[in-house]
Structure formats: C-alpha cells, structure tokens
Amino acid sequence: MKTMNLAGYAAALTLSLTMTGSALAQGTLRIGMTASDIPLTTGQTDNGGEGQRFLGYTAYDALVNWDMSSATKPSDLVPGLAASWAVDATDKTKWTFKLRDGVKFHDGSAFTADAVVWNLDKLLVKESPQFDPRQSAQGRSRIPAVASYKAIDPLTLEIVTKTPDATLPYQLAWIMMSSPANWEKQGKSWDAVAKAPSGTGPWKIVNFVPRERVELVPNPDYWDKPRVPKLDKMVLIPLPEANARVAALRSGQVDWIEAPAPDAVASLKQAGFSIVTNAYPHNWTWHLSRVEGSPWNDIKVRKAANLAVDREGLKELLSGMMIPAEGFFPPGHQWFGSPKFKLKHDVAEAKKLMAEAGYGPGKPLKTKILISASGSGQMQPLPMNEFVQQNLAEVGIQIDFEVVEWNTLINIWRAGAKHESSRGATGMNYTYFIQDPFTGFVRHLQCNLAPPAGTNWGSYCDPEMDKLFDQVRNTFEPKEQTAILQKIHEKYVDDALFLMVTHDVNPRAMSTKVKGFVQAQNWFQDFSPITMTK
Amino acid sequence: MLLYILKRILYVLPVAIGVSIVCFLLVHITPGDPLTAVLPVDATLELQQQMRALYGFDKPLPVQYGLWIWRVVQGDLGASIATGRPVTSEVFNAVKNSLALAAAATLIGFVAGAGLGILAGYFRGGWVDRIASFVSVLGVSVPHYWLGMVLVIIFSVQLGWLPATGGGPQGSASRSWDWDYLRFLVLPAVTMSVIPMGIIARTVKALVGEILNQEFVHALAAKGLTERGVFRHVIKNAAPTAFAVMGLQLGYLLGGSILIETVFSWPGTGFLLNAAIFQRDLPLLQGSILVLALFFVFLNLTVDILQAAIDPRVQRA
C-alpha cells in the first residue's frame, strides 16, 4: 500500500510539474471567483463588487480611485485618472477635474478629457453611437448627481451636478474609463471590445474564453509606477460552486479562492492553506419597516431587539467568520463616530425595555420578517436568522419567517414595506454594500427615497436625518464631511434604526505560495504587490 | 421504410412546436425578474422600465413568443442579456462540450454495462451474477454528484492524478484530444457513466436471460450450433433494445448533467443552464432548453428509425 501511495504521489508530482511548473516559475496567480461567468470586460462591469474587483479596478481606472494599500486603516478615496479636483467657490454645482498628464490606454491612445466625456456619454446618452445598454445598466444609477459635463481642454474636465453634491467623487469612483480609440478599432462593437478590451489600469486583459477563464498580464507603462504588477500573469476562473472551488484549490488547480464555505475553513487551514479575512463595508441586518402600525416604530422595541441578540454566540456558530456589529458600519470605520447606545447582549435590559413598551410574558410581540434561503452577501441566512429568532424569543419578540428566493427578496426590497408583495412583514433580512455615503446611509433612510423612488424600504422619514444628509452633500471639505457622516452613524445606532447583527469578513483562502497580498478594508482589492514563490 | 421515416418526421413537428411553447412559458412563469442579472440592485424603477422596453419584456407574452419563434426558425436564438453574446454560439459551444462528455460517459457506461449485463445474464444465479448485479444496482442508486465529489477527493485532492475542475488546460478552447485535454474529461465522464452503466447492465441482463429461455435458442443448440454461435444469436437479438436504451441514455446525459457539470465546472449545457437560471438570463435559458429539448426529440426520432432498420417488426407495429 505504501509503495502504491508513493508511486501515486511521484506520478502526481511529475504530472503537476509538467502541467504547471513552468507557469508557476513565471509567477502566475490563478484565482477561483464565485461568479458563474467572466464579469463584463468592456469597462463598467457586472457581477457587483466581485466584477469591479477583478475586471474593473484591474484593467481600468476611475477618475477617483479607492486606496487599497492598507489592511489596517479604513480604505478611502485617492486621486485616480484625475490628479486633483475642486468645486467652484461660488457655484457649488460646478466641479473641475484636472486630469493626469501622460496616461495612455493599453492600445496606446492618450487618455484625455474628451475620453471622459465619451465614456460618460457611453453610459448616459442613449443617442451617442458608443451608448452601451449593458454598461449603462451598471453605471448610470451610480452617478445620479451628474447633470452635464464638458472638456475644457485636453486635461481639464468640468462636471455640473443637478444640485450641490459633495459625494460626487464617491459616485465617480464607480465609473471605469474604456478606450474610445479601441472601440473604433474594434469596429464600434462592444461585443468585439469585450474580447479585446483596453483600459488604463495596471493589468491588460488578454486571452478571454467566455464562461471559463480570462488572463491578465501587467501593463508595464502603468502611470502609478508602484502599482505595476509584479506577477507575470493572473488567471481568473469562474467557479460558482463552493465545493468545486475548494477542490480546485486543494488539488492545486488554482492558488486562491474567493469565499470558501465556512465549514471548509477548518480543513483548509489544516491542509496548510491560509485564510485571509478583514473587515470591509458590508453589513448583515434586519431592515425594519417604519410604516404605520409597525411595532418597530417604538424605539424601546428596536433597542430591546438589538440588546437581545447574542452576537458572540452567533460568531461561534459561524466558526468565527464574522465581525459582531457594534453599529451599522464595522467598528473602526472612519464614519463610525462615538454612538452612545452600545450593542451588547443584555437580556435583562431588553426585557425591561419590552415591559416599558407594553409587552410582557403574557403579551409577546408577534411579527413577521422576510428572509432568503441564500443569496449574494447573505452569508448563511437560515441558521443565522433562526439564531436571532431564538434570541428575540427570549425577550418576548416572537418572529415568524417568510422565506423567499433571493431575487424575489430583492424585488420586494425595491417595492417597499407598504407594497403588497411585502405580505405584511415588518422587516427583512438584507445585506448591504455600504462603501460610500449614498450606499452606506442615504439610500436607506432619506424621506424622498421611499419606494418606488428609491430603496428606503421601510419608508423611514425623519427631517433631522434628512437635514444631516443635506449637510453631507453641501460640505465639500473632506474632514468636515467625515464629521457629519459620523453624526449620521451615531444617529443610526443611538436611534437603533436597524437590527444590527454582523459584518462579513470577506474570507478568501490561498496557497502559501501567494505572497505580498494586503487585504484592504474594501470590496475591491489591489493585485499589484502579489508575488508567487515556487 | 421511406414512408415510415416521413411519418415519423411529421409526428415530430407538433412535438417541436409544443416543446417551444412549453419552454417559453416555463421560463416566463418562473418567479424573478429577467433584468435582475443586468441591473444593479438599487437601479431605479425608471431605469428598470427603460431596460425592460429595450429588451422587449414590456410586450404581451404571446407577442414576445411570436417574435422569439420567428427569429428561432431563422436560426437566431437572440443574445444573452447578461453577456450580450449570441445565444446560438453560446449554446453550440456548450453542446460540443456536453457531447464530448456524454459520448465518453455513454461509451464507458455501455461497454461496462453491457459487459456486466451479459455476464450476469449468462451466469444467472451464480456469484458472477450477484457481483455484477450489485455493481449495477450501486450504479443506479449512488447520487452521481456525491460520487463526483468523492472521486475528486480521491483522485484530485489526495492523489493529485487528475484535475478537479475545468474544461481543459486553457479552457475548452484548447480541446485537442491529447492526454492534456482528456485528463480533464476522465472524472466527469466516469461519474456520469455510472447511471447508464447500471441501467444498461440491468436491461441487458434481463434481455439475455429472457432470450436464453426462448425456444429458438434450444433449437439452435439442438441443431448443433456451438455455444459461441448461440451466444452470437443471443447478442444479436438483445442488441436493438440495448441500443435503444443507450440512445435514450445519451439523450438523458446531454440534458441531465447540470449537477455533474456544476460539480466539475465542465463548460457544457448543464453548466450553461445553471448560470442562465441563476442570472435569470431568459434568452439564454429559452435557447438552451429549446435546443436540448429538440435534440432529445430528434434523438428519439433517430433511435426509432434505427430500430426500424434493424428490426422490421417495429415498422409494422
């Protein structure tokens, strides 16, 4: 038996050396993504945060980029293709962007203000020849503030917003710049561009096999020299099935997988793989209805529910793969501020609050919550929600779940708590991308964003909160803006506006050959500093 | 014979139309928004409506069906919502991969299954029969996605002999019929072959047993034919049914491999369907289901015709 095993391993070794040895020697990183297809390669990618991570910020840049260089400090905005920007001193809707000089697209054409105008037209102007419905669908809703734009000179761009809006740089950080010259060269066809794309980013997309793999090689002429990739090649492979991802990693077919299933983490660690995690702007929450008649209109009930949840116990349930919520944003985030209401596990206090609210052992609060069985960013919704359900039952809140399919839940979320599709539920378990002021705060609670105008699902409306949102839009000094965002977060927590439960830790598993990766506290990551050891 | 073929082909037409209506309706009555895949979750209602109009989803269902089927008969299955790539090329690329997988699995399944079946049928009641029957029952009963994972754990993770996932060293574009490519085919094909193996083994065993009990076999033996000669007659009599079962199995394998293709990330029709379902990519979903369903219809037709050619009794029936 022993000799057979040895022979087997020898054969495996020879095979793997002949198969992959040469590739590894040149420093090739192979990543198994969770997406079921290669995200859109033309610029404005699909597949949400993962698409932007792998085919947005790799091959492209935005005018304003995210700083992905640190694992320890929260990620903030940094100049990208725009070297600097400023809002007009008198007219706060008029912004001037000074573009970086000497930047070239991968096809060699120059990046200019005209290229930015062309790219914004690609998303916003249906009549423009380069208008692309697919990229428009991804990008348009990200830049709601933009009213008009024009090139002043090759390196100066002017953008006018509909109303004063200091969050414009955050919005623009979503918008990727593709090459107009390449689009012309590819016969003005975005389908052709998808196979031979051209951006300004640190990586060039080469060799694209739909649904199976895409290869990226470094762009040696990248404008940000420290971010010129050290690897020779990066291969991205869609592996939507969680077990297939783990098998691919363990058999050495890939060096890195996104989102290993929590129950595979222990065995991966045991087999010598590293599990990299970090906080990032994600939350797992119950979005509460504030429609008339909802029990959550009483702050005592909201606070009681928040105090009833045993977040440490939940962490144990998830083998430690979560960050217990201390607020709506993860602890340590630049907008966290110093809320007074502490999200501790205090059943006695919770019971007291419930009694004050008029509930008690003989008179429990009964209500219905919508949840999904699985979905993007939802972690493990069934066991997690059942855990929370038990916690709430202890303080006299009896929850009935209505389980719907994830895409159905998204549609209910768009329709709002008042809509019949919500079936009388007073809350829904939703997971949020909370990376900028709009996605993090405004869209959930601004009065005029109640459905169908927006996604303030619970129809919350507080003039005081709206005033704070206005201040954010009208405060152009970044430090002062941060102070207001902190105030907003404090109000989120102190008023217990959500049932704040946990944050995901964005786990990825990788072979120990992968060196130099710094997991930023961001949905996007920088692959430039990575190297592979033999 | 020609009349028979023509008659069979005429029967196919209403079936094909029925299939197209069913697959169109099935896709449209399932819950979920066809634009979920392309729109960011917080896209405004206005943007959703614009996109819906752009893709023609705002029109009444019969109109949508009419437009779709009109393009389909011209050979155009439309373009995927999620990727913009033509559905026809997506489906046919996937069909090529599934065909390779299904053919390999059927071949393995047929050879192994027929072998086991003949052995079991010939040595009915003996230990050979018991072993062969055990293997074939196991083949039919084991959930194949589970078997796939077990094979991956043994041969990819522990032994490192075969790749765990993927359609080729550089993706399926590198299909080249050498070991570099074929090693990617081994595990999914073996996993997939166990069900047809079990079914064919059981069918052949029953057939062989039944034929052996027929009078003509005794007559042949009585006429002094050697055992090998008799055996040849038995095989020849069992062959049409065995082939028919194999044909149907090939059809099942082509359409029913979602689990295996997902476990092995094999870029075939099952993998494509899975992606299309999760992305609510209606044109892609409709297109792939239609192609698969029609494939099945034509496979049945071919098997029927072949059966009639081999065994003239079928024509009269």
Judged by CB atoms closer than 8 Å, whether chains meet at A138 and B44 is answered as no
CA A284 – CA A309 distance, rounded (Å): 13
Q: Are residues A347 and A424 in the same domain?
A: yes
Within 8 A of B186 by CB-CB distance, chain A residues are none
Rounded CA separation A193/A33 (Å): 22
Interface test with A, best of B41, B51, B279 (most A CBs within 10 A): B41
B186 and B273 inside one domain: yes
Tell whether B14 and B105 lie within a shared domain: no
Tell whether the model's pLDDT for residue B112 goes beyond 80.
yes
Read off the CATH number of the domain in which A217 is found.
3.40.190.10
B169: closest chain A residue by CA: A19
Q: CA of B256: how far to CAs of A490, B4, B195, B289, in Å?
A: 54, 30, 11, 11
Gyration radius of chain A's alpha carbons:
25
Chain A / chain B CB contacts < 8 angstroms: 154
Say if A142 is an interface residue toward chain B (CB within 8 Å): yes
CB contact under 8 A, B263 and A253: no
Average confidence (pLDDT) over B217-221: 83
Number of domains in chain A: 3
Could you tell me if residue A187 is inside a domain?
Answer: no
Tell me, yes or no, whether A318 and A463 share the same domain.
yes
Burial B280-294 (b: 16+ CB within 10 A, else e): bbbbbbbbbbbbbbb
Q: Is residue A188 part of a domain?
A: no
Q: Same structural domain for residues B178 and B99?
A: yes
Tell me the sheet residues that pair with A238.
A33
- Top residue of B30, B42, B182, B288 to mutate, by most chain A CBs within 10 Å, is B42
Residues B222, B95 share a domain:
yes
- Regarding whether B93 and B34 lie in a shared domain, the answer is no
Check residue A473 and give its pLDDT.
93
Residue B290 lies in a domain: yes
Residue A429 shares a structural domain with residue A336:
yes
Enclosing domain of residue A417: 282-503
- Residue-level pLDDT at B223: 85
The answer as to whether B80 is a domain residue is no
Higher pLDDT, A252 or B292: A252
Residue A190 within any structural domain of the chain: no
Q: Tell me phi and psi for residue B179, to 5 degrees.
A: -60, -35
- For A193, phi then psi, to 5°, come to -60, -35
**Pair (A274, A324) in one structural domain:** no
For residue B19, give its domain range: 2-73
User: Are A456 and A368 in a shared domain?
Assistant: yes
In angstroms, the CA B4 to CA B261 distance is: 37
**Domain presence at residue A189:** no
- Asked if residue A166 and residue A22 are part of one domain, the reply reads no
Among A37, A175, A374, the residue to mutate for chain B (most B Cβ within 10 A) = A37
DSSP string computed for A286-330? EEEP-STT-GGGSHHHHHHHHHH--HHHHHHHTTT-SEE-SSSSP
Phi, psi of A457 (to 5 degrees): -50, -45
Range B37-50 average pLDDT:
70
Domain assignment of residue B62, yes or no: yes
In a domain, A141, yes or no: yes
Q: Which of B84, B159, B264 is facing A191, going by the closest CB pair?
A: B84
Verify whether the Cβ–Cβ distance B31 to A142 is below 8 Å: no
- Are residues A205 and A226 both part of a single domain? yes
Say whether both A398 and A290 belong to one domain.
yes
What is the SS3 string spanning chain B? CHHHHHHHHHHHHHHHHHHHHHHHHHHHHCCCCCCCCCCCCCCCHHHHHHHHHHCCCCCCHHHHHHHHHHHHHCCCCCECCCCCCEHHHHHHHHHHHHHHHHHHHHHHHHHHHHHHHHHHHHCCCCHHHHHHHHHHHHHHHCCHHHHHHHHHHHHHHHCCCCCCCCCCECEHHHCCCCHHHHHHHHHHHHHHHHHHHHHHHHHHHHHHHHHHCCHHHHHHHHCCCCHHHHHHHHHHHHHHHHHHHHHHHHHHHHHCCHHHHHHCCCCCHHHHHHHHHHCCCHHHHHHHHHHHHHHHHHHHHHHHHHHHHHCCHHHHC
Q: Do A253 and B43 touch (CB under 8 A)?
A: no
- Residues B242 and B307 placed together within one structural domain of the fold: yes
Q: Is residue B202 part of a domain?
A: yes
Does the distance separating the beta carbons of B161 and A250 come in below 8 Å? Answer: no
Find the CATH number of the domain harbouring B286.
Answer: 1.10.3720.10
Q: What is the pLDDT of residues B45-88, one digit of tens each?
A: 677 777 777 777 888 888 888 888 888 888 888 888 777 788 88
Same domain, B64 and B120: no
Residues of A in contact with B263 (CB under 8 A): 241, 243-244
Q: B312 to chain A nearest CA, in Å?
A: 46
Mean pLDDT for chain B? 83
Pairing of β A64-66 and β A77-79: antiparallel
pLDDT for residue A3: 40
Quick one: DSSP state of residue A53? I
Per the CB < 8 A criterion, the answer to whether A469 and A446 are in contact is yes
Kindly state whether residues B181 and B68 are assigned to the same domain: no
Final residue of a domain: which of B22, B44, B73?
A: B73
Asked if A145 and A87 sit in the same domain, the reply is yes
| Last residue within a domain, chosen from B48, B73, B98 | B73
Q: In this structure, are A401 and A451 located in the same domain?
A: yes
Residue A196 domain-assigned (yes or no):
no
Query: Are residue A218 and residue A341 in the same domain, yes or no?
Result: no
Are A369 and A425 contacting, i.e. CB atoms less than 8 angstroms apart?
yes
Q: Do B27 and B103 belong together in one domain?
A: no
**Chunked mean pLDDT (size 10), chain A, 534 residues:** 42 41 62 87 86 94 94 90 95 96 96 97 93 86 91 97 94 96 96 93 92 93 94 92 88 91 87 91 95 96 97 91 94 94 96 95 93 81 94 96 84 87 93 90 93 88 96 92 96 97 93 93 92 88
A-chain residues within 8 Å CB-CB of B264?
A: 244
In a mutagenesis test of the B interface, which of A33, A209, A376 is the best target, namely the one with the most B β-carbons within 10 Å?
A: A209
Tell me whether residues A12 and B159 touch, CB distance under 8 A.
yes
- Do B149 and B286 have their domain in common? yes
Whether A65 contacts A173, CB under 8 Å: yes
User: What is the predicted ipTM?
Assistant: 0.77
Residues B123 and B238 in one domain: yes
DSSP A176: -
Residue A441 is predicted with a pLDDT of: 96
CB < 8 Å to B37, chain A? 46
| Residue A94 located in a structural domain | yes
Q: What pTM, to 2 d.p., does this model score?
A: 0.83
For residue A123, tell me if it sits in a domain: yes
Q: Residue A459: its pLDDT value, please?
A: 95
CATH code of A81's domain: 3.90.76.10
Residues B124 and B36 grouped into a single domain:
no
Count CB atoms within 10 A of the CB of residue A512.
10
- Give how many domains chain B has, as a whole number: 2
Answer whether residue B79 is part of any domain.
no
Q: What is the nearest CA distance from B156 to chain A, expressed in angstroms?
A: 5
Question: A411 vs B41: CB contact, 8 Å cut-off?
Answer: no
A210 and A297 share a domain?
A: no
Chain B CA closest to residue A189: B84
Please give the pLDDT value at position A14: 41
